Amino acid sequence: MKYQSFYLALGLWIFPAFAGFAFEAPVDKVLSERVSKVEVPVHEDTCFSPDEPCAEKLAAFLDSAQKTLDIAIYDLNIEELVAILIRKAKTLELRIVCDKKQARGAHSQIYRLLENGVNVRYGKQRGGVMHDKFVIVDGRILETGSFNYTNHARLANQENQVYLSSPQIVNRYLERYEQIWASSVAIDLQNLRKEITADSLVSLPANSSRP
């Protein structure tokens, strides 16, 4: 218990120290190099991880946006994608709805997006989780499937993606996104920092010998 108290005090001291300090997320150089070799996905493109370069395809897709990016995602920790989103948020309208519980995890990159001014909100459901995984680029083409924006999805899990530009399908997703966004909840960055620290401590072994 005394070690947990120490870590909590340390965390609450460190996180506020970075309040207001925005920085570009570090980039996975290997992934970044691979993205440059991948064509931007088009209608009916598919991808299956971990055997195929799904993260690279998704990165190229996000980077192709010119006007808008509407994203609903359960979990996010791939640094290259974070860097692209931070950059894109400076030049176009970008909205992200995420899951509250996942955003509070120590692995999540949601707080970095918020620190860099990206428009991110928590999804609000009837007692469940924000488990959607789709992104609409410029209101004309979308990506969906089981693929989360995580390293587990990229490197380990059996996941899938499909890219669709059928107007009827895209419009259906646009309508749904507006509903999700309308009910979403603003995120308090200071509270999120505290929650990340507290949740990280819960995972510490009871007999941890670390100072």
CB 97 within 8 A of CB 181: yes
Greatest mean pLDDT range, 27-31, 167-171, 187-191, 195-199: 167-171
- Helix axis angle, 189-202 to 2-17, nearest 10°: 150
Query: Which residues, including other chains, have CB under 8 Å from residue 32's CB and lie 6 or more apart?
Result: 80
Residues annotated as catalytic are 131, 133, 138
The burial of 181, by beta-carbon neighbours within 10 Å (0-12 exposed, 13-18 middle, 19 or more buried), is given as middle
**Amino acid (one-letter) located at 108:** S
CB 26 within 8 Å of CB 77 = no
pLDDT by residue (tens digit) across 88-109?
Answer: 999 999 999 999 999 998 889 9
Q: Which CATH superfamily is domain 2-200 in?
A: Endonuclease Chain A (3.30.870.10)
Query: What is the model's pLDDT at position 42?
Result: 97
Tens digit of each residue's pLDDT (9 = 90 or more) over 113-153: 999 999 999 999 888 999 999 999 999 999 999 999 999 99
- Is the Cα dihedral 61, 67, 73, 79 positive or negative? positive
134 close to 142: Cβ distance less than 8 angstroms: yes
Average pLDDT over residues 33-56: 91
Name the residue among 160, 153, 134 with its Cα closest to residue 73: 134
- In the chain the first and final C-alpha atoms are separated, in Å, by 12
68 pLDDT higher than 60? yes
d(CA 190, CA 188): 6
What would the pLDDT profile of 177-211 be if each residue is shown by its tens digit?
A: 999 999 999 999 988 988 887 665 444 344 333 33
User: What is residue 67's predicted lDDT score, i.e. its pLDDT?
Assistant: 98
Instruction: Report helix, strand or coil for 4.
Output: helix
Spatial separation of the C-alpha atoms in residues 122 and 124, rounded to whole Å: 6
**All structural domains of the chain with their residue ranges:** 2-200
Collapsing DSSP to helix, strand or coil, 136 comes out as: strand
More confident: 20 or 170 = 170
